[in-house]
Structures are given as structure tokens and as C-alpha cells.
Structure 1
Amino acid sequence: MGGGRKFHYPKYVWSPAGGWWNQPTAWQRNTAVAFGAIALLNLAVFNLSRQLERRPVAPHKHIPSQLWCTHAEEDDPSLAKGWGSR
């Protein structure tokens, strides 16, 4: 059923993905490094967003991002009483 058998193919065809039966070295490590870099970038953006988030008008109901927002209690004084008080 074609297990590991390779067939003849034209050598003049170029592919940006590496061509037929491509198996780059250390692809698992490279993938893990790429996902790690993406996770660090997302963490940095989340932290910046958390620090800069402000609400000039208090929302009518609680918003989940108010749990981690730096200025949530300043912008919505009812949060100082607790989440169940509205």
C-alpha cells in the first residue's frame, strides 16, 4: 500500500514547501519553538491590554475582563463591594 516506497519524480520541479516526501530535520523542535514564540507574544499583548484597559462609563453588567483589568475598581466602584452586588 505504498508504505515507504518512493517514486521517480522530475528533479526540475521546485516547491517552496520542500518538494515530494519532505521531512525537514528537527521539525518538531522548530514547531515547538514557533508555538512558544507565539505564546510569549500573546502573553505580552495580553499584559499590555490588561494594563491599558479603561472604561469611562461603567458597564451595566460585569464583564469577565474586569477580573484581571488593572483599573477595574477605579472605573467601576461597585466592584469594590464584590462581584455579586449589582
Structure 2
Amino acid sequence: MGGQPRYPYPTTVWTPAGGWWCEYPKNCKKNGVKTSIALFGILSLAFITSKMIERRYSHTPPPAITGSHGHH
């Protein structure tokens, strides 16, 4: 059962999970840490870049709306 036997697969492919037919990769935790650090770095860079180019405009309502006409 199970169909075809395992065919030859590329051994140079790196994945955090370990690649094809890997029961439990010996360096799974190390690969997970590497991936987490890389993801954190990329997301931090995106956040900092977004924060740098963000523009906020303050909106002050005109005096007629706030009711301050100079007298009470």
C-alpha cells in the first residue's frame, strides 16, 4: 500500500520543517529559531519604514463649530 516508492528528491532544498519525508528533523528547533528571527527582522523593517513615511494631519475644527466666537 501507499502507491509508488519514494523517488529521489533534491537534497539542497531548505525548509523550516525539514523537507520531504522528514519524520522529525534533527535541527527543527534551530531552523524554527532562524525563521522566527528572520521574520521578526523583516516585519520590524517594514514597521519602521511605515512609521517613517507616515504623515498625520491635525484637523482643527473652525471656530463656528466649536462655539468660541470670542464672547460668552
1:32 equivalent in alignment to 2:26: no
Larger Rg: 2
After superposition, what is the alpha-carbon deviation per residue over 1:34-57, rounded to whole angstroms, capped at 9, x for unaligned?
011101110111011001012xxx
C-alpha distance in 1 between matches for 2:26 and 2:20: 12
TM-score, structure 1 as length reference? 0.44
Number of equivalences: 49
The list of structure 1 runs, each at least 4 consecutive aligned residues, that deviate by more than 6 angstroms after superposition, is none
Residue 22 of structure 1, CA deviation: 3.0
> Residue 30 of structure 1: CA displacement?
0.6
Query: Match for residue 44 of structure 1?
Result: 45
Secondary structure of residue in 2 paired with 1:30: helix
- Please report the RMSD computed on the Cα atoms of aligned residues, expressed in angstroms: 2.5
Unaligned runs of at least 5 residues, structure 2:
11-18, 61-72
When residues 14 and 22 of structure 1 are mapped into structure 2, their CA distance, relative to the original with a 3 A threshold, is: farther
Q: TM-score when scaled to structure 2?
A: 0.51
Q: Give 1:18's aligned residue.
A: 20
Q: Which runs of 5+ in 1 are unaligned?
A: 1-8, 55-71, 79-86
